[in-house]
Amino acid sequence: MKRQPDWAIPADLQPSSQGRGFDLDAALEAVVSVRTEVPEDAFTASTLGTERAGSGVVVRGDGIVATIGYLLTEAERVWLTTNDGRVVQGHVLGYDQVSGLGIVQALGKLRVPVVPIGDSSALKTGDAVVVVGEGGRRHSLDANVVAKREFAGYWEYVLDEALFTAPAHPQWGGTAVLDAGGRLVGIGSLLVEEKVGRKRVQGNMSVPAELLPALLDDILAHGRSKAPPRPWLGLYVGEAKEGLVVGGVARGGPSERAGLQEGDVLLEVAGGSPTTLASFFRSVWRLGRAGTQVPLKIRRDGEELHIPVRSGDRNDFLKKPSLH
C-alpha cells in the first residue's frame, strides 16, 4: 500500500502528558494504524476506494481493535501498524451498519497497552478530550466537546446521539476520543462543520464508545449484530429546499430496481410524511426487517407517483471477510 506522507498536528495543539489523570503515553501507544485493501469489484469500491487507511484502538489484551466500519467494509487484507513500526496482519471480525463501528482481530502480538472503554453520556459541552490518531503524539490533539446530538447520514444511517468535537483531526477515521480519565468515549467517523459561539469551525463527529461492548459480544459470537437487519433501500438522500431529494441510488440496489431516480422528491413513506433524513429513515425501519416492502410516494417532473420498494439487507450486497 502507498506510504502516507509525513505530517504533524501543530505543536500547540498536540496533547501534553502534564496534568493528566491518566498515562497519556500508554494511550498513545494503544492506537495503531489500520490499512486495508478492498477488491476492485467490491460493492463499496467506487465510493470508499480500494485502499483505505485510518486508526484503530486496542480495547482488549487479546488483540481486539476497534475502529470505524467503513475502513473494514469488504476488506480483503488488513494490516495493523504500531507506533514503533511493527506490522501485524489483521482479520475483520465484523462491522456494524447500525452503529458504524468495526472490529479487527490482530493475528499476531501487538504488544501495546489497552484503552478501557468508557461512556460518552457523562460528557458535557466544553469538556476536554484527546483525539488520538495512529502515529503517536504528533498525530494527536487536544480538543473539546462542542455538541452531543442526533446525526443522520445520507447513506441510510442515524445515530441517536453522536459526539462532536473541535478542532478537527485531519485524519479522523478510527481515531480514539479519550475523556479526562483516559477512557475511550468515541471512535472518529467524519469531518463536519460545527457552530461554536458565533463562528463555524471544522470538527469531527465520533461514534459513542458505549455502543462497543454489546456489539463486540455479538460479533465474537455471531459475526454481526444479533438484531434483525434493517430494511435497506440503497439510496442516497439529501435535505433540500423542495424537501427530501434522492441524490443517487446504489447500483443494483432495491431502489434502482424499483425505478427510483436521482432528483425524485420523497413525499411519503407508508402514508406518513417525514421531513428530515432521520425521520425518513426511521419511518422505513419501523416497517419491519430487511425484505419488507416499503411504499413510497414521490414527485418527479411535477407528477406524483406511488413506488413500492422491496427492501434488502445491505450486508447481502457486500463481500464478506475471509481468513487468509
Residue 94: pLDDT band (50, 70, 90) is very high
- Rounded Cα distance between 100 and 46, Å, is 19
The answer to whether residue 162 scores a pLDDT higher than 70 is: yes
Q: What integer pLDDT is reported at residue 323 of this predicted model?
A: 54
Mean of pLDDT over the chain: 95
Q: Are 120 and 36 in contact (CB under 8 A)?
A: no
Give me the mean pLDDT over the 61-84 stretch: 97
**Percentage of residues in the chain with pLDDT exceeding 90?**
91
Residue 5: pLDDT band (50, 70, 90) is low
280-289: long-range contacts at Cβ-Cβ below 8 A with a sequence spacing of 24 or more? 280/237, 280/244, 281/152, 281/156, 281/157, 281/158, 282/158, 284/156, 284/230, 284/231, 284/233, 284/311, 285/230, 285/231, 287/231, 288/231, 289/228, 289/229, 289/230, 289/231
What is the per-residue pLDDT across 13-23, written as a single tens digit (0 to 9) for each? 999 999 899 99
Q: How far is CA 7 from CA 113, 137, 139, in A?
A: 24, 12, 8
Those residues whose C-beta lies under 8 Å from the C-beta of residue 276, and which sit 6 or more positions away, are: 152, 239, 244
Q: What integer pLDDT is reported at residue 201 of this predicted model?
A: 87
What is the per-residue pLDDT across 188-200, written as a single tens digit (0 to 9) for each? 999 998 877 788 8
Q: Residue 25 belongs to what H/E stretch?
A: helix 24-29
pTM of the entire predicted model: 0.94
What is the per-residue pLDDT across 103-134, written as a single tens digit (0 to 9) for each? 999 999 999 999 999 999 999 999 999 999 99
Query: Among the listed ranges 68-72, 160-164, 196-200, 232-236, which one has the minimum average pLDDT value?
Result: 196-200
Q: Which domains does the chain have, with CATH numbers?
A: 1-227 (2.40.10.120), 235-317 (2.30.42.10)
Strand partners, 239: 244
H helices present in 38-180, as ranges: 45-48
